[in-house]
């Protein structure tokens, strides 16, 4: 596991960090004169947990966040927490044949990554795998967009995504990649066992090497596209939610 110092901003992100990971919150800065009742709640909760809290001017918060919308509160955080590929065997084993892993191949937009992490947390995903390079990392914007999910879902940064997929296969995990041109429907696939669901980035989708390491490519049926409605593909965060919760549906039906 590795950590990086960073500032996180926004009511949901700071509240979640204080509530779920107080040991890694170094200090909280609250806007002096801020009238949102949730700011008071965050301040009181932080003080109860022994976190330093300072009231500062709005300009100080603007300077810390570099213009990022902060809603009157920021926190200096000794994270994001990320995990290495070495953790995967233990995670898969602990899942007892029900591992559900989300793999994101080159997502660039922090808002999309945050939304994907939120869906992964809600679906009870075992882990989310992202590449170390050529993809957005878990930064302050991601943490805010995830509404606290970045604190509760394990994020693994893979040095080599193709090798990581191969290692997952050797652990008995079936790899399904989402691709618009695939002929097999997502809804025809058995997603009840050890499964990794792989989705590509916003612009180019799955990279060639990633595709080659999937056991099968599947697609989300879109009647609107077939009907000439101009819909060619779903946003990656929407597709992630659809895909993860199809697995959840199968596992709970």
Binding-site residue set: 200, 220, 234
- Alpha-carbon span 112 to 145, nearest angstrom: 8
- 245, with CB counted inside 10 A (0-12, 13-18, 19+), is middle
Q: At what angle do helices 236-252 and 110-122 cross, to 10 degrees?
A: 10
Binding site listing for S-adenosyl-L-methionine: 200, 220, 234
Cα–Cα distances in Å, from 191 out to 116, 236, 237, 252? 18, 19, 19, 11
Q: 184-185 and 52-56: which strand pairing?
A: unpaired
**CA–CA distance, 220 with 222 (Å, rounded to integer):** 6
């Amino acid at each position: 596991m590795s950590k990086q110092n960073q500032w996180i901003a926004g009511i949901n992100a700071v509240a979640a960090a204080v509530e779920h990971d107080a040991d890694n919150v170094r200090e909280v800065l609250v806007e002096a004169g801020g009238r949102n009742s949730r700011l008071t709640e965050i301040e009181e909760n932080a003080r109860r947990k022994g976190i330093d809290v300072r009231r500062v001017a709005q300009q100080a918060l603007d300077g810390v966040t570099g213009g990022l919308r902060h809603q009157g509160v920021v926190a200096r955080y000794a994270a994001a927490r990320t995990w290495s590929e070495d953790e995967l065997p233990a995670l898969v084993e602990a899942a007892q044949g029900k591992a559900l892993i989300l793999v994101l191949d080159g997502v660039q937009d922090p808002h999309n990554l945050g939304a994907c992490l939120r869906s992964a947390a809600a679906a009870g995903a075992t882990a989310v795998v992202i590449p170390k390079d050529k993809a957005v990392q878990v930064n302050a914007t991601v943490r805010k967009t995830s509404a606290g999910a970045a604190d509760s879902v394990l994020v693994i940064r893979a040095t080599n995504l193709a090798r990581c997929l191969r290692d997952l296969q050797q652990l008995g995990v079936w790899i399904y990649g989402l691709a618009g041109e695939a002929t097999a429907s997502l809804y025809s696939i058995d997603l009840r066992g050890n499964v990794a669901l792989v989705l590509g980035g916003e612009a180019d989708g799955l990279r060639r090497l990633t595709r080659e390491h999937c056991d099968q490519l599947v697609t989300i049926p879109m009647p609107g596209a077939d009907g000439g409605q101009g819909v060619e593909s779903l946003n990656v965060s929407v597709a992630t939610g659809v895909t993860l919760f199809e697995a959840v549906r199968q596992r709970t039906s």
